[in-house]
Amino acid sequence: MATNQHGIPLLLQTFSGNESDKKALLEIITKVKKNLNVAEKVIHVADSAFYTDENLQTLGFHTFWISRVPLTISEAESLRKTSESFTSCEDSRYSYYCSSSNYAGVRQNWIVFHSSEQQRKKEKDFDKKVEKELIRTQKSLKHLACKRFACEPDARSAAAEWVSKHPWVIFDTCSIKQVHERLEKKRGRPGKDETLILKYVIEADISLNFTELEKEKSILGRFIIATNDLDLDPETTLNYYKGQSQVEKGFRFLKDKTFRVSDVFLKNTGRIQALAMIMVLCLYVYAVTEYKLRKSLKETNETVPSQTGKPTQKPTLRWIFFLFRRVRELSLRIEGRIVTKVLNLDKTIRKIIRLLGTHHKKYYFT
């Protein structure tokens, strides 16, 4: 699903569960670009599944995008660990460091952001992660100790390679021992004149590398956002990327138990697509109405009470529906004609109807 910055759906397409997210996102962006005819600059915001060589090269230089860079890219992981100083954002929770990249042959800005909130959240799980990693590392060391090497340099090289792949630990002790083995594996003690082969094994003890762990802990809140719009400043780039939550909000709406979709079984692909279309139309009406109300509240500098009773200019439409729960239409026959009245229109509800505009007034105010 693709939405605009206000969460209003622009396109919905159903895909098989086996479809690759990387290909699906490119297809959606291509279709939105083809059908969205606007004079303003359009920037497509997508998650890290979009960020692949093929996708970036396909869109070229004239389709603007913002995406999170996967840390599976070695260049990104290296940049995340930068020791350069960061610049504070207006939002004190964030700071950033700007860099550039030519990944996939596309000129782009890479901006490393640090979030203090993410840092705190990830620090809570970091110690548990270290404990689990230490257990896995100790098992790996046991496997290494079981290996036999033809010469001492091979054993030392294997030990050095192993510890380089496990940066969270260091060797307390590491020695190479000689062992003698039979040419053929047999039970019992070797014979007096039996020829034995000289092999080498690694004996080592490990402990946590606290220097490396502290470095890793200090960058837990970092992530990299990339964009090929070189004119965008870092804070605007971050705000646009965070707007991606509008799509997630739309999916929460579609997955809501109110739709009772889990009770419906549709085998035919066409019927699944039809149901999805009806659901996204509901989301469209919901999102447009919510946007219109919030916009009117801001323009008129008015508020409505939130669930906690505090004034707000950003109510959810779900809460507005709840406020309307007691509104009733009463029809009476008086002297042979039908008279209709709308009951329980309190001050807040009247304000909401007025802010929503003429089309809504005609249904409530007679």
Burial (CB < 10 A; 0-12, 13-18, 19+), residue 229, is: middle
pLDDT (tens digit, 9 = 90+) per residue, 104-152?
999 999 999 999 999 999 988 998 999 999 999 999 999 999 999 999 9
* pLDDT of amino acid 186: 65
DSSP string, 143-208: HHHT--BSSHHHHHHHHHHHHHH-TTEEEEEEEEEEEEEESS--SSPPPTT--EEEEEEEEEEEEE
Token pair of 270, please? Answer: 């066409």
Q: How far apart are the first and last CA of the chain?
A: 40
In the chain, which residues fall in CATH 3.90.350? Answer: 1-173+201-254
Rounded distance between C-alpha atoms, residue 173 and residue 202, angstroms: 10
pLDDT band at 197 (very low <50, low <70, confident <90, very high): confident
Rounded distance between C-alpha atoms, residue 237 and residue 226, angstroms: 9
Q: What is the mean pLDDT of residues 184-188?
A: 66
Rounded distance between C-alpha atoms, residue 93 and residue 128, angstroms: 25
* pLDDT of amino acid 319: 92
Rounded distance between C-alpha atoms, residue 41 and residue 65, angstroms: 11
pLDDT band at 91 (very low <50, low <70, confident <90, very high): very high
Q: What is the mean pLDDT of residues 179-193?
A: 69
Which CATH code of 1.10.8, 3.40.50, 3.90.350, 2.40.50 fits the domain covering 1-173+201-254? 3.90.350
* pLDDT of amino acid 264: 73
pLDDT (tens digit, 9 = 90+) per residue, 12-61?
777 766 667 777 788 888 888 777 777 778 888 888 889 999 899 888 78
Q: What is the mean pLDDT of residues 318-323?
A: 91
pLDDT (tens digit, 9 = 90+) per residue, 268-299?
788 888 888 888 898 899 899 999 999 999 99
- Please name the residue that has the structure tokens 């509901």: 282
pLDDT band at 181 (very low <50, low <70, confident <90, very high): confident
Q: Are strands 64-68 and 43-46 parallel, antiparallel or unpaired?
A: parallel
* pLDDT of amino acid 36: 77
8-state DSSP, 88: E
Number of Cβ within 10 Å of residue 51's Cβ equals 23
| pLDDT at residue 190 is higher than 70 | no
pLDDT (tens digit, 9 = 90+) per residue, 198-257?
899 999 999 999 999 999 999 999 999 999 999 999 999 999 998 888 877 887 777 777
- Measured CA to CA in angstroms, residue 54 lies from 21, 26, 30, 34, 39 at distances of 13, 9, 13, 19, 27
Q: Is the pTM of this model over 0.85?
A: no
Rounded distance between C-alpha atoms, residue 223 and residue 244, angstroms: 15
Rounded distance between C-alpha atoms, residue 20 and residue 233, angstroms: 32
Token pair of 20, please? Answer: 């690759």
Number of Cβ within 10 Å of residue 342's Cβ equals 15
SS3 content of the chain, % helix, strand, coil (to 5): 45, 25, 30
